[in-house]
Structure 1
Amino acid sequence: MHTLLAIAALHLVVLVIPGPDVLLVSQTAIARSRRAAVLAGLGVVGGIACWAALALLGINVLFQHFAWIHGVIRVAGGLYLLWMAYGLWQSSRSAQAHAQVQAPLGDLRALRSGFLTNIANPKAAVFFGSVFSSVLPAHSSASLKLGAFAVIVLLSLSWFALVALGMSTARLQAIYLQARRRIDQIAGGIMAAFGLLLLSSRE
């Protein structure tokens, strides 16, 4: 139980720190719809689940022996975040930029955007690998590993559901309508910064 609590505490700290995942779900919630934000959040959780599972299976060892794989994922992820930033900037320049909430986002597209935003960052695997190696006993049972995986997924689901529901209120959407151009520019700038940081990283 102490091991699972330690993993939960570490993961919760990382979850609440604003990053591209939180930015994507928040921006989708205020600019699109609650449904789209929830689906984007589910996509993010899907990415988290993949990285956590791969870390438990030892993907960090693969990264250590084949650094180029980590590099390819990192560059692809950075370019994807820059592409998303470009989309936000284009949205801010739209002639209808302040007229209405953006067009509905298809379910599959919302889910995919969340998944790709998270899976684009291989540092997630490094994080989970370091957490598991430092907290899980060397010869952990399958049930303990499954418990750790479940804790990570459930915490992630709860957090991104909270973000999606909290950021999609009518009041926040009204504020967005009044300042859509500026908000999209700022969101695009932050997303671009995340992309550039990922591209410039050597770890």
Structure 2
Amino acid sequence: MIENWLFIAAMLAVLLIPGPTNALLANSAYQQGFGKTFTLVPAELLGYLYGISIWALLVHLSLPIWPMLIDLLHLASALYVFWLAFHLWKTSHLESHGLSRKALTPSQLFISTLKNPKTILFAAGIFPVETWDSFAHYFLVMGIFSLCLIPCAVFWMYWGRKVLAGNMKGIRADQWYKGSALFLVLCMLPVVVRFF
């Protein structure tokens, strides 16, 4: 059984940090409304499930041939987290995202999520190694992932819509990004320590 449940905090941190999928959800909620955007969340979930499973399969198949791949992916994941935290500290692109997209389709959100580097981070760095040992562990971790994804997506639809509409008084997007960067680094520290 999975003994270390700290991966849930890291999973929430990664899902909450600003990224392309979250910006698309925020913009869609602003353009199309909350209800219509909420119907797109299953496409995001499928994109993550497919992306994570594909990366996990690639890692599993390549381990007998190249055992160092998992260590390289762990290192790349840690470097990506710190690069992302640094990038978040310096950016506030959600406010400029504005009206660039009119209508978001499920296939656009699915493809954007499938190509998201967060899928590699989940497959090789955040999910426990036991996830891939049995179907029971896989479905347990993916169920927890699904339960974490839905409130994070709802948060981005609500908060992003308010930011894009200019309704946030006292909180600017750059402050949110700086807080996200600190939150991400704090929640990823146990995962990074576990690697090394």
Q: 1:10 aligns with which of 5, 10, 20?
A: 5
Match of 1:49 among 46, 50, 53: 53
Tell me how far apart the structure 1 counterparts of residues 177 and 102 of structure 2 sit (CA, whole Å): 18
Q: Is the 8 A contact 1:38 1:160 kept in 2?
A: no
1:54-112 alpha-carbon deviations (Å, 9 max, x no partner)? 56x3766666434796389659967x969x96xx74553x4x95xx7963333223222
User: How far apart, CA to CA, are the structure 1 residues paired with 2:178 and 2:62?
Assistant: 32
Distance 1:53 1:75 in 2: 20
Any residues of structure 2 matched to 1:91-106 within 5 Å, and which? 91-92=94-95, 94=96, 97=98, 103-106=102-105
Q: How much has 1:125 moved relative to structure 2?
A: 1.7
Structure 1 residues 66-105: aligned runs within 5 Å: 66=69, 70=73, 74=77, 89-92=92-95, 94=96, 97=98, 103-105=102-104
CA contact (8 A) 2:77 2:120 kept: yes
Tell me which residue corresponds to 1:151: 140
Measure, in 2, the Cα distance between the counterparts of 1:158 and 1:71.
Answer: 25
Distance 1:16 1:77 in 2: 14
Q: Which has the larger radius of gyration?
A: 1
- The verdict on how the C-alpha distance between 1:165 and 1:70 changes in structure 2, with shifts beyond 3 A counting, is closer
The 8 Å contact of residues 63 and 70 in structure 1, kept in 2 or not, is answered as no
Change (3 A) 1:72 1:30: same
Instruction: Give the share of equivalent positions with the same residue, in percent.
Output: 9
Q: Does 1:118 align with 2:118?
A: yes
What are the superposed Cα offsets for residues 101-154 of structure 1, whole Å, 9 maximum, x if unpaired? 963333223222323142242x64244454459xx6xxxxxxxx1111111222
> How many angstroms apart in 2 are the aligned matches of 1:77 and 1:106?
28
What is the identity, as a one-letter code, of the residue corresponding to 1:119? T
* Inter-partner Cα distance in structure 1 for 2:150 and 2:40: 11
Cα distance in 1 for partners of 2:70, 2:57 equals 19
CA RMSD in angstroms, aligned pairs only: 5.0
Aligned 8 A contact 1:52 1:149 in 2 = no
Q: TM-score, normalised by structure 2?
A: 0.54
After superposition, give the CA deviation of every residue in 1:136-179 in whole Å (9 maximum; x if it has no partner). Answer: 6xxxxxxxx1111111222222321233245535x873465224
Query: What number of residue pairs does the alignment pair up?
Result: 177
- Is 2:11–2:126's contact at 8 Å kept on the other side of the alignment? no
| Bigger helix fraction | 1
Alignment of 1:32 onto 2:28: yes
Q: What residue ranges of structure 2 are gaps of 5+ in the alignment?
A: 30-36
d(CA) in 2 for partners of 1:158, 1:67: 27
TM-score by length of 1: 0.52
Structure 1 residues 118, 46: CA separation in 2 closer, same or farther (over 3 Å shift)?
farther
Establish whether residue 108 from structure 1 lines up as the match of residue 107 from structure 2: yes
Structure 2 residue aligned with 1:173? 161
**Alpha-carbon distance in 1 for matches of 2:94, 2:77:** 26
Structure-2 change in CA distance of 1:151 and 1:17 (3 Å): closer
Matched to 1:65, the amino acid is M
Q: How does 1:121-136 map onto structure 2 within 5 Å? A: 121=121, 124-128=123-127, 130-131=129-130
User: Which ranges in structure 1 are unaligned for 5 or more consecutive residues?
Assistant: 137-144
